[in-house]
Amino acid sequence: MSKYKTNKASAFKDNGKGEEREGRHCVHFKCGAVSTIKDVLHQRPNWMEVKDNEEWDFNWCDVGWLRENFDHIYMGEHVRINHFPNHYELTRKNLMVKNLKRYQKNLEKDFGRPEASECDFFPCTFALPSEYHLFVEEFKRNPGSTWIMKPAAKSQGKGIFLFRKLKDVTDWKKDSFHTEEQKDAAHVESYVAQRYIENPYLLNGRKFDLRVYVLVTSYIPLKAWLYRDGFARFSNTRFFLGTINDKHMHLTNVSVQKTAPDYNPEKDCKWQLQQLRRYLTAKHGREVVETLFKEIDNIFVRSLQSVHKVIINDKHCFELYGYDILLDQNLKPWLIEVNASPSLAPSSKEDYEMKYRLLEDTLNVVDMEGRLTGKEKRVGGFDLMWNNGPVYREDANLQTFSSSCFTANTHLGCVNDREKQLSMLLKPFPFQKKM
């Protein structure tokens, strides 16, 4: 029986690619966002936006739309949508940690502690209210340390505060969990209490974290791509651990920084990852920085593996994740959170151009036009990082047969000569004139 409801994905004579109109493939898209993605979709040769109730081949929706509609739509073979139905297993802060803890425990059971220690990249975290007592025990074991409280499902720094005294939490808990309306457990908002990284790596005395983009095109088998570009987001205020109630100092979200009294819209609070990698290499040497970036790759792969069997592997879905990674003074990378809807709103011209290229390459990998063979290890700025196992660089395979010397096929913060690579890889669109 057909599952057709109001929002239909196109189910036309499924030729595997898309509708043929006037001898050309035409991709009908729906887009729930107003930012950079809309521009990218509109400039794509022979892609057309549909009206609300029309059928679509490609949908860039928000997670709210997905929640309301995913179970009610029928999707033809070729149709693609930009979220997995239970993406929240990785992108909600409490569930991410639950999945990572389970994955780590299984690794320890099957392979021992050294292997499990490969997952020691997330700060000690408890889900509230369910793990409140465990949290209190841990809190008391570490007197004087700083913690951060975060709503599990909010973003942009909303509802976050730092604390060092249990009294701050008990007062807040009374307000948050025990008001009249919220006595019903179903209405209690979930939070995480997490150890605050007290020694962030500072640049000009300022804290920053990294935003990195990972594209997953399948969970079974796991196929994940890493984008070369990304950025570091800086705080505007010099870091000082003595002051814990200044969110402009401690939260690096751009949306938080924009509200600082001395925020200067002319001065973007971002560095491109290339710039950061160059800076770190000049300061600490190539080897140290290569180790750091290898550890960051490990975070992507392990976190995806932790939900590999949990995420519903619907073949219509892909997901462009925005990872938040924080470096500490020992150049150890920490996983802070994974976003299902990383901000695509530009904060400057350079930021717009970077996001534009990222989204173009996302569409190139998703390949509605059928221009790829499926065997590519690189598409524009995306390098294939995991394909049911680690992916190695072509030249590395020739160097040696010893697997320990194989080099991962990732280039985070390296040169992104995507235009050159795309011009060699992709046939022009059928109706595009050759340059």
Options 25, 150, 270, 302; binder of ligand ADP; rule CB under 6 A: 150
DSSP-derived secondary structure letter, 317:
B
- What does R_g of the chain's alpha carbons equal in angstroms? 23
In whole angstroms, the minimum distance from the beta carbon of 180 to Mg ion comes to 32
Q: Is 123 in the site for ligand ADP (CB under 6 A)?
A: yes
Of the pair 130, 146, the CB lying nearest ligand ADP is at 146
- The rounded Cα 100 to chain-centroid distance in angstroms is 16
Residue 68, H or E segment: helix 63-69
Of the pair 197, 384, the CB lying nearest ligand ADP is at 197
Q: What are phi and psi of 140, to 5 degrees?
A: -70, -25
* Site mask for ligand ADP (CB under 6 A), range 257-296, x = bound: ----------------------------------------
DSSP string, 118-174: GGTTS--EEEETTTHHHHHHHHHHSTT--EEEEETT--TTTT-EEES-HHHHHHHHH
Name the nearest CA neighbour of 193 among 220, 236, 163. 163
CA distance 114 to 353: 42
Of the pair 211, 316, the CB lying nearest ligand ADP is at 211
* 189: alpha, beta or left? (left if phi > 0; alpha if psi -120 to 50): beta
CA distance 317 to 327: 31
In whole angstroms, the minimum distance from the beta carbon of 198 to ligand ADP comes to 8
* Site mask for Mg ion (CB under 5 A), range 274-313, x = bound: ----------------------------------------
Q: Is 209 in the site for ligand ADP (CB under 6 A)?
A: yes
Of the pair 211, 223, the CB lying nearest Mg ion is at 211
Q: Which stretch binds ligand ADP (CB under 6 A): 4-12, 251-259, 272-280, 399-407?
A: 251-259
Q: Is 91 in the site for ligand ADP (CB under 6 A)?
A: no
Of the pair 337, 369, the CB lying nearest Mg ion is at 337
Of the pair 160, 426, the CB lying nearest ligand ADP is at 160
CA distance 381 to 400: 27
Name the nearest CA neighbour of 364 among 350, 346, 383, 349. 383
- Partner whose footprint covers residue 385, from ligand ADP, Mg ion, none (CB < 5 to 8 Å by kind): none
In whole angstroms, the minimum distance from the beta carbon of 137 to ligand ADP comes to 19
β-pairing verdict for 206-218 and 319-327: antiparallel
Of the pair 337, 351, the CB lying nearest Mg ion is at 337
Q: Which positions ≥6 away from 342 have C-beta within 8 Å?
A: 211, 213, 320, 321, 322
Determine the longest span between alpha carbons in the chain, in angstroms. Answer: 71
Options 91, 155, 176, 362; binder of ligand ADP; rule CB under 6 A: 155
In whole angstroms, the minimum distance from the beta carbon of 176 to ligand ADP comes to 16
Q: Is 253 in the site for ligand ADP (CB under 6 A)?
A: yes
CA angle in degrees (0–180, nearest 5) for 83-128-312: 25
Options 297, 337, 351, 360; binder of ligand ADP; rule CB under 6 A: 337
Name the nearest CA neighbour of 79 among 278, 305, 301, 318. 318
Options 131, 297, 319, 324; binder of ligand ADP; rule CB under 6 A: 324
Q: Which stretch binds ligand ADP (CB under 6 A): 107-115, 146-154, 182-190, 391-399?
A: 146-154
Residue holding tokens 């595009």? 432
CA distance 158 to 140: 27
Q: Is 252 in the site for ligand ADP (CB under 6 A)?
A: yes
Options 19, 131, 324, 369; binder of Mg ion; rule CB under 5 A: 324
Residues binding ligand ADP: what is the number (CB under 6 A)?
20
Q: For 254-271, give one letter per residue: b (16+ CB within 10 A) or e.
A: bebbeebeeeeeeebbbb
In whole angstroms, the minimum distance from the beta carbon of 303 to ligand ADP comes to 14
Q: Is 326 in the site for ligand ADP (CB under 6 A)?
A: yes
CA distance 347 to 369: 31
- Partner whose footprint covers residue 48, from ligand ADP, Mg ion, none (CB < 5 to 8 Å by kind): none
Q: Is 156 in the site for ligand ADP (CB under 6 A)?
A: yes
Q: Is 157 in the site for ligand ADP (CB under 6 A)?
A: yes
Give the footprint of ligand ADP on this chain (CB under 6 A): 123, 148, 150, 154-158, 160, 194, 196-197, 209, 251-253, 324, 326, 336-337
Give the footprint of Mg ion on this chain (CB under 5 A): 324, 337
